[in-house]
């Protein structure tokens, strides 16, 4: 196929390593990856600077967009603008915090209508598994969701109730019948109840209220259900490294389970969180530095499969900055625009390479969740690309980010690595002109 556009760079990150060469694009797809220059004919050329690396666009499979119903919390326009600025060219929207939640084909249609014409990047959708839609999950799967999200404890919003352990197993049996995927917020409700946190501005009190045992016990529940049903399962936002041995043993046994962690668990530590600093609150919580080191080890060893944002914004007042009450504050961290820089800064300091970071934040999430054509610079893939300057240092100005609300734990931090430009199907993303597609698992590219 005759190239319509050619990218040239001294550093192109391919599955075979970093090469100096060219990437040819036609029809929005990569049609050739060559070492050295390609004959361009009349095709326009994008020349990257010597200090820039051409990466595949990131794939963030854990984003709370919150539209419709709570669009004042975020929304498709602002979320996808932030994604593009951070090198994320594909995201999957979580089924809760929007109203209605995505728990039926009708609600999915409402969600897709809300997103249409607003997205700067490609967007797919998760469905929800809740008590009221058990037995009806196949129809939601056939409507195009990439899988199902379930909670084992209160989700924080009344319209998305949790599954009991028996309901979890029933959902898994149903999902296994069509080889679907269940992703689980795994914290044990009994452990959380036994450690309930009264009003407090002390971060240590909040962390104690969600101990590692809550994650370990809930993950064991998920493993048991996945083992007995044969369902594919995925643990979202792992914060406690105590659960790593059980996950590793289950995988070795043949249980079909994967796991993600998030930038905040890899870059932050409980020791640095001041009392009353509710912008650091997430559920499960950021734990101590020793736990963070163990998460990095599990990521390096492949027990943790990939890294996604769990971008979960809210209006500033829900973070309770007036009282600094961790018990009452909304638990969520906004990092959609910052994830690559956050993870690369920490990874580099720990001796990890940029190809490793790209596997964790692009290739592996795309492959694990089932989004073909994304996550790598190979012939046949979508030409979703990022010009990234890995040595550029910059300081976070929350007010300059594209997230709807300037709240977060990274204010005034210095990071290494900056996104210079993002491209969707070969076209540079203009953050004022929506060009993203709405994806479904039946037609994912």
Q: Is residue 407 part of a domain?
A: no
Do 348 and 327 fall into the same domain?
A: yes
Q: Is the pLDDT of residue 445 over 60?
A: no
Residue 103 contacts residue 73 (beta carbons within 8 Å): no
Average pLDDT (341-354) is 98
57-71 confidence digits (pLDDT tens): 999 999 999 999 999
Task: Output the CA torsion sign for 341, 342, 345, 350.
Answer: negative
Residue 21 contacts residue 34 (beta carbons within 8 Å): yes
Which residues, 6+ apart, have CB-to-CB distance to 351 below 8 Å?
none
Average pLDDT (263-284) is 98
At 420, phi and psi to the nearest 5? -90, -35
Q: Give the residue from 372, 391, 406 where a domain finishes.
A: 372
Q: What is the domain range of residue 39?
A: 5-47
355-379 confidence digits (pLDDT tens): 999 999 999 999 999 999 999 999 9
| Between 36 and 166, the higher pLDDT residue | 166
Do 93 and 42 fall into the same domain?
A: no
- pLDDT at position 350 is 98
Do 26 and 157 fall into the same domain?
A: no
- pLDDT at position 323 is 96
The proportion of the chain whose per-residue pLDDT surpasses 90, expressed as a percent, equals 95
Q: Is the pLDDT of residue 45 over 90?
A: yes
CATH number assigned to the domain comprising residue 202: 3.20.20.140
- pLDDT at position 444 is 54
Q: Is residue 421 part of a domain?
A: no
Average pLDDT (2-20) is 94
DSSP summary character for residue 311: B
205-261 confidence digits (pLDDT tens): 999 999 999 999 999 999 999 999 999 999 999 999 999 999 999 999 999 999 999
Q: Is the pLDDT of residue 432 over 90?
A: no
- pLDDT at position 38 is 77
The pTM for the full model equals 0.97
Do 9 and 137 fall into the same domain?
A: no
304-327 confidence digits (pLDDT tens): 999 999 999 999 999 999 999 999
- pLDDT at position 37 is 81
Do 283 and 258 fall into the same domain?
A: yes
Do 84 and 169 fall into the same domain?
A: yes
Instruction: Give the DSSP per-residue string, 43-97.
Output: --EEEPPTT-EEEEPEEEEEE---TTT-TTT--HHHHHHHHHHTTEEEEEE-SSS
Q: Is residue 82 part of a domain?
A: yes
Mean pLDDT computed over every residue of the chain: 96
């Amino acid at each position: 196929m005759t190239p319509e556009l050619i990218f040239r760079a001294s550093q192109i990150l391919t599955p075979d390593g970093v090469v100096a060469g060219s990437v040819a694009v036609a029809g929005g797809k990569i049609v050739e990856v060559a070492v050295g220059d390609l004959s361009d004919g009349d095709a326009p050329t994008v020349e990257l600077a010597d200090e820039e690396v051409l990466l595949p666009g990131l794939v963030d499979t854990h984003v709370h967009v919150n539209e419709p119903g709570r669009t004042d919390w975020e929304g498709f326009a602002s979320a996808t603008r932030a994604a593009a600025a951070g090198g994320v060219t594909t995201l999957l929207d979580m089924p809760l915090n929007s109203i209605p939640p995505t728990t039926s084909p009708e609600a999915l249609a409402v969600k897709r209508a809300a997103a249409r014409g607003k997205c700067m990047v490609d967007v797919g959708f998760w469905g929800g598994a809740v008590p009221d839609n058990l037995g009806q999950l196949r129809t939601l799967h056939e409507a195009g969701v990439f899988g199902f999200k379930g909670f084992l404890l209160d989700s924080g919003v009344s319209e998305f109730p949790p599954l009991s352990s028996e309901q979890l197993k029933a959902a898994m049996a149903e999902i296994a019948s069509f080889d679907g995927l269940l992703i689980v917020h795994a914290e044990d409700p009994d452990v959380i109840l036994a450690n309930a946190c009264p009003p407090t501005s002390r971060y240590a009190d909040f962390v104690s209220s969600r101990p590692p045992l809550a994650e370990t016990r809930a993950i064991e529940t998920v493993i048991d259900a996945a083992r007995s049903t044969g369902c594919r399962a995925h643990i979202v936002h792992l914060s406690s490294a105590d659960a790593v041995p059980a996950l590793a043993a289950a995988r070795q046994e043949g249980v079909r389970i994967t796991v993600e962690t998030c930038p905040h668990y890899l870059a932050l530590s409980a020791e640095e969180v001041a009392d009353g600093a509710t912008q650091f609150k997430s559920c499960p919580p950021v734990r101590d530095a020793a736990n963070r080191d163990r998460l990095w080890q599990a990521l390096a060893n492949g027990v943790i499969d990939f890294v996604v944002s769990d971008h979960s914004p809210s209006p500033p007042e829900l973070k309770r900055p007036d009282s600094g009450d961790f018990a009452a504050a909304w638990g969520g961290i906004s990092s959609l625009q910052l994830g690559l820089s956050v993870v690369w800064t920490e990874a580099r300091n720990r001796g990890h390479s940029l190809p490793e970071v790209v596997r964790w934040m692009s290739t592996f999430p795309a492959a694990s969740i089932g989004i073909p054509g994304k996550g790598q610079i190979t012939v046949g893939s979508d030409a979703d690309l990022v010009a990234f300057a890995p040595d550029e240092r910059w300081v976070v100005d929350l007010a300059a980010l594209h997230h709807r609300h300037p709240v977060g734990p990274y204010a005034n931090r210095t990071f290494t690595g900056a996104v210079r430009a993002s491209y969707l199907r070969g076209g540079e993303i203009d953050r004022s002109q929506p060009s993203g597609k709405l994806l479904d698992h039946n037609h994912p590219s």
